[in-house]
Amino acid sequence: MELRPVLYRAAGPVTLVGGGPVTPAALAAALALAPEVYAADGGGDVALPAGHRLRAIIGDIDSLGSDPAREGAPPVHRIAEQDTTDLEKCLYSIEAPLYLGVGFLGGRVDHELAALNALARHPERRMILIGESDLCLRCPEAGLRLSAEAGERVSLFPMGPARGTRSVGLTWPVTDLELAPAGRIGTSNSALGGPLEIGFSGGPVLVILPVGHLGQVTRSLG
């Protein structure tokens, strides 16, 4: 990513709100773990629960419906460049150890794909995208370790050619399995129950899990 100025620095995880579908449950789950909240453009129109205020709205500001000059409005940072999405503009404008994104999954397919592309392109930014029923993250280079109930869905989607290097607790092991976006993929795998470990070389590989694993995945990413 081209070096761009950092506007905000956060000591802990932050919540990013996008302009896609945002369920109250997903938003509440993110804010419980990351109460400092920013909006990506149209995400500034999302109503936050009592006790929470937007720190800032960041993006090219082409889809924000509310008046950015209204009394009490948060600061608005208009970034005109069109080489990145509004989500990526937030990622390079806010320095944080972890980003929880709501309003980026579901809704328009092109917007969702762009958010998944951001996960794949920016390994230096640890991020979890949260939807109504799923969460999605890039599998860390060191692998992912957590626990899961027997039969829980564990989907793996390669965003580049990848080879499985670690596979514990999966119904269909992926060790030494070759995955590729236009080849074999790893969706609809499931957990055996108990410890779950996944690792890949190459890639990147996206891991898609039930949203109930948010707290555990957040701890796993540090």
Name residues whose C-beta falls within 8 Å of residue 113's C-beta, 6 or more positions apart in sequence.
none
Per-residue confidence (pLDDT) for residue 222, from 0 to 100: 76
Q: Which of 151, 157, 169 is nearest to 200 (CA)?
A: 157
- Cβ(59)–Cβ(78) below 8 Å: yes
Name residues whose C-beta falls within 8 Å of residue 60's C-beta, 6 or more positions apart in sequence.
41, 78, 79, 80, 81, 82, 86, 89
Per-residue confidence (pLDDT) for residue 101, from 0 to 100: 98
Position 116, amino acid: L
List pLDDT tens digits, range 22-58: 999 999 999 999 999 999 999 999 999 999 999 999 9
How far apart are alpha carbons 198 and 170 in whole angstroms? 9
List pLDDT tens digits, range 58-80: 999 888 987 766 777 899 999 98
List pLDDT tens digits, range 146-163: 999 999 999 999 999 999
Q: Which of 156, 98, 103 is nearest to 131 (CA)?
A: 103
How far apart are alpha carbons 82 and 170 in whole angstroms? 41
Q: Which helix (H) or strand (E) holds 33?
A: helix 24-33
Per-residue confidence (pLDDT) for residue 63, from 0 to 100: 85
Per-residue confidence (pLDDT) for residue 32, from 0 to 100: 97
Q: What does the block give as tokens for 92?
A: 């390079």
List pLDDT tens digits, range 175-201: 999 999 999 999 999 999 999 999 999
Q: Is the pLDDT of residue 2 over 90?
A: no
Would you say the C-alpha torsion 170, 132, 60, 218 has a positive or negative sign? negative
Complete domains list, the chain, with CATH: 9-132 (3.40.50.10240), 144-221 (2.60.120)
Per-residue confidence (pLDDT) for residue 1, from 0 to 100: 46
Name residues whose C-beta falls within 8 Å of residue 219's C-beta, 6 or more positions apart in sequence.
none
List pLDDT tens digits, range 78-121: 998 889 999 999 999 999 999 999 999 998 999 999 999 999 99
Mean of pLDDT over the chain: 94
Per-residue confidence (pLDDT) for residue 209, from 0 to 100: 98
Whether the bond into 204 is cis, omega within 30 of 0: yes
How far apart are alpha carbons 222 and 204 in whole angstroms? 19
Quote the percentage of the chain above a pLDDT of 70.
Answer: 98
